[in-house]
Amino acid sequence: MRRASLAGLIILAGLKAGGYAATEPAFTLATDPAAKVLRVQFAATTAPYYVEWTVYGDGRLEKVESYTSDPTRRSEVKLPPEQVRALVSRAIDQGLADTSHAALAERIADGWAQLRPEGLKFTPTVPPPPDDAPTSEVEIRLASYRGGKSPHVVLLRRKGVQELARELPMVAELQEWARLAETLDALVTKERPK
C-alpha cells in the first residue's frame, strides 16, 4: 500500500514539475478577431499560383487564392469554437506544434531510410522535391501551450509537402500538414473533408 501511495505522489509531482496539471487544458487559443490561430499556405512558382487558408481567433476561416492572370479571390466562413479547437488539437496530436525544421528534416530522412532496402544507399539520402513542387507553410499560434504563460508559435516551411506526404505515410507531421490544407479547403467550399 505504501509503495502505491509513493508512486502516486511521484506521478503527481512529475505532472506539476512539467508546469501544468493534468486538469489544465494543453493549450489555449487567442479569441481576438485579428489574431491568427492556424495558417496553411501553398505557393507554386512554375505556374504562378498562391493559396492560403487562415483561421482567426474569432473562428473566421479565410481562403485567399491568387493566379498571376486572375484577380485575387477571397472566401470566408465562420467556424464554431469547438471546430477550431478540434482542428488545432489534431495538429498538436500529430506533432506539428512540437516540431522544428531540423526535427522534421530528420523524420523525413528516417522515412526515406525505411523505404530503402537494407544495405542499399542512395545519394542523396533524401531526394529533392520536384522542381515544380509548391512551397508550403504551416503556422500554429497558441496563446499558451502546456501550461506556459507565453505564446507558442510554430512556423514550418518546406517544398513539396503534398508529394512527401504521399511518399512517406509514416511521417505523421507531413500527413497532418497535407490533411489540414484539404480540410480547410473543404470547410470553405462547404464540402466534407476526406
What letter would DSSP give residue 159? Answer: E
Q: How far apart are CA 173 and CA 170, in angstroms?
A: 9
CATH architecture of 23-188: 2-Layer Sandwich (3.30)
Average pLDDT over residues 126-152: 86
CB 176, CB 95: distance < 8 Å: yes
Instruction: Check whether 186 has a pLDDT greater than 70.
Output: yes
**Are β-strands 135-142 and 60-67 bridged in parallel, bridged antiparallel, or unpaired?**
unpaired
The x, y and z cell numbers of residue 124, run together, are 542523396
Query: For residue 185, which of 55, 56, 32, 37 has the smallest C-alpha distance?
Result: 55
Residue 67 has a pLDDT of: 82
Write out the three cell numbers for 42: 501553398
What's the rounded mean pLDDT across residues 173-190?
91
Read off the pLDDT of residues 87-119 as tens digits, 9 standing for 90 and up: 999 999 999 999 998 999 899 888 888 887 666
pLDDT digits (tens, 9 = 90+) for 8-51: 433 343 444 444 344 456 899 999 999 999 999 988 877 678 89
Q: What is the pLDDT of residue 113?
A: 83
The answer to whether the beta carbons of residues 26 and 15 sit under 8 Å apart is: no
H-helix segments, the chain: 2-17, 81-93, 101-115, 161-167, 172-188
Distance CA 162, CA 9 (A): 46
Every domain of the chain and the residues it spans: 23-188
**Span between the terminal Cα atoms of the chain, in Å:** 50
Band (7; pLDDT cuts 50, 70, 90): very low
- Give CA separation, 179 vs 33, 138, 161, 165, 172, in Å: 25, 11, 11, 9, 10
Residue appearing with cell numbers 503527481: 12
SS3 content of the chain, % helix, strand, coil (to 5): 35, 25, 35
pLDDT digits (tens, 9 = 90+) for 65-95: 988 777 889 999 999 999 999 999 999 999 9
Mean pLDDT of the chain: 81
